[in-house]
Amino acid sequence: MNNQEKYTRLIKQCSANLGFHYCGTSKAVKLDDDARRLESWLQQGFHGAMQYMENYFDLRIDPCKLVPGAKSVITLLLNYFPSEQQNNTALKISKYAYGKDYHQVIREKLNMLLQFIKQNIGDVNGRGFVDSAPVLERSWATRSGAGWIGRNGNLITKQQGSYFFIATLIVDLDLMYDDTFAKDYCGTCRKCIDSCPTNAILDNKVINGSRCISYFTIELKDAIIPDEMKGKFENWMFGCDICQDVCPWNRFSKPNNEIAFKPIPEILNLSTAEWENLSEEAFKNIFKDSPLKRTKFKGIQRNLKFIKTQSQ
């Protein structure tokens, strides 16, 4: 066994011990094709008010600009499919936000993995990234053999569907590389496209982010949600899982084992009236470690009012 194979096995074993259900590796190269697709997406304005998507373009497509001398990109998947679901009367919240903020959870795991690499392999330079960083993690995931990009824009795996977070670790270390996942198992299925109430999913694996319910309920910082969206949110107050819920591949989803992702009781059980009567102080206390704090109390109140107008 050569060093590349030995190091790769060590890293994959450590990632499994840390709770990641997939670890794949790919060669650190400039993503020229992805650069063209990203540029086209931005030019069409599909990012809406998410101006940060225009920043650090060069960093997004070239791992060597993020980690000097980068040689390998390690892709890790962490399952977040919950064991418990919201009750039928609750306003809908995306499953990824049921528990603790995944950024905190994953960053800790990435730091532990990098520390393991330094202790067991040598003086390796690297940086870990979760989705808030300028990294095209889905592209690296397909290059690392994890799965394919579905019509809904999500990475889909044959083993567990798409309910997982993607993390990326870029290192200046040569490794054995996995084969790119070249097949597309969506076939002729259009369930995600036909089920999207805002027509955000185009028929070419392109998402018009500026029409996505998640965009309106999380990313949009304006005080007013456009009137044209009234009656289309289907009670989604934070995020949206429609395109994943209808995906046939998610019949293979299994509940996660991550304690930090245990659902906050209020997310599962609060009624519309209880959400409306929730004070800002209570919101900050209950959701201090939750992804919901990203929208802030004012954002949640705005979303509540908009959803309420749908039934009037």
DSSP structural state of residue 191: H
CB 85 within 8 A of CB 163: no
Q: Residues 34, 62, 131, 289: which is the catalytic one?
A: 131
Q: What is the pLDDT of residue 23?
A: 98
Q: What is the pLDDT of residue 89?
A: 73
Residue 90 DSSP SS3: coil
CA distances from 38 to 4, 183, 206 (A): 32, 21, 10
Backbone φ and ψ for 98, nearest 5 degrees, come out as: -65, -35
**Residue 113 identity (one-letter amino acid):** L
Q: What is the pLDDT of residue 311?
A: 56
Q: What is the pLDDT of residue 33?
A: 81
Q: What is the pLDDT of residue 310?
A: 64
Q: How many CB atoms lie within 10 A of CB 85?
A: 11
CA distances from 263 to 81, 83, 139, 222 (A): 11, 9, 30, 29
Q: Which of 294, 50, 312, 77 is nearest to 181 (CA)?
A: 77
Q: What is the pLDDT of residue 41?
A: 74
Catalytic residue flag (residue 101): no
What is the residue-level pLDDT of the chain in tens, covering all 312 positions?
Answer: 699 999 999 999 999 999 999 999 999 998 878 777 777 777 777 667 666 666 666 777 789 988 999 999 999 999 999 999 998 777 999 999 999 999 999 999 999 999 999 999 999 999 999 986 668 899 999 999 999 999 999 999 999 999 999 999 999 999 999 999 999 999 999 999 999 999 999 988 889 999 999 999 998 887 789 999 999 999 999 999 999 999 999 999 999 999 999 999 999 999 999 999 999 999 999 999 999 999 999 999 999 999 987 655
DSSP structural state of residue 24: E
Q: What is the DSSP string of 117-186?
A: HHHHT-S--EEEE-TTSS--HHHHHHHTTS-EE-TTS-EEBTTTBT-EEEEEEEESS----PPP------
- Structure-block tokens of residue 218: 């999380």
